[in-house]
Amino acid sequence: MSSFQRVGFPSFFNSFSAGTSDRLLEELDQFFDSQFRMDMIEEQLLARGLRAEKVIQSMLDVPRHRFLPSSYTYSAYDDVSIPLGYQRSVHPPYLTALMIEAADIQPQDRVLEVGTGCGYTTALLSRFRPQQLISIEEVEEFVEDSVSLLKKLGFGEDETLAVMELADLSEGFPPAAPYDAVIVNPPIFNNLPPALFRQVAANGRLIAPIIHEDGLQTLSRFTRMGDDVWVEEILFEQRNPKHINNHEHDD
């Protein structure tokens, strides 16, 4: 089972923090690259039937641990969602991969990501090199941190990626619509905002996690087959999502 343990971690890990030097960050990258990212692929993605090569390669290419709060770095590749603050979290790796696979992004596509968060999914989406990728976020701190890190790690350098701060994610970003794919990161309660549907192009896909009144959580893909004709596919469902145990970090 690919679960990070404190025993066996290199000594430099104990000094890891938001202000860690570039040298230590490089050593940390090498440490995670050596085993844990591949374990994530094998035990969480391949074991559950995900086979899309581009998705798998993007998950290998992007250092998930660099996008998370430093206190959760050692759990970066575990099969859990991880809190970011502001009542937001990062989905478990499999759910993120499934969302991207469902989006079926092609080079000519225009893509909207609703909820940049820490920028991890943004980085993954940029690896598909769509014609345009717009990511919108309502939390100023998330925008500042994600833009800085994405730039530092070299994602979106071809100027096809734009991260914007907006007051209301439910409105999407109409000026650049329509989009061939819309990926919603924060879970939506019951019903998706109508504005997001209006911004999907013909044959476009809208992918979103939805929390239903009975507590069931689903991941749905809505495909636009006509002006008012949609096909919904439920790709994943669960009642008790796994969250990181904060007590693991008490010491």
Are the beta carbons of 122 and 150 closer than 8 angstroms?
A: yes
Residue 34: pLDDT band by 50, 70, 90 thresholds?
A: low
Exposed, middle or buried, 162 (CB in 10 Å: 0-12/13-18/19+)? Answer: middle
pLDDT attached to residue 8: 37
pLDDT attached to residue 20: 52
| Whether pLDDT at 163 is above 70 | yes
- State the average pLDDT over residues 83-93: 95
pLDDT attached to residue 74: 86
- State the average pLDDT over residues 178-182: 98
d(CA 43, CA 244): 18
How many Å is the Cα radius of gyration of the chain? 18
Which two three-digit tokens encode residue 96? Answer: 């993120």
pLDDT attached to residue 64: 94
d(CA 195, CA 115): 15
- Domains, the chain, in order of start with CATH, read 11-242 (3.40.50.150)
Does residue 234 or residue 30 have the better pLDDT? 234
| Tally of CA atoms within 13 A in the half-sphere of 143 that contains its CB | 15
pTM: 0.86
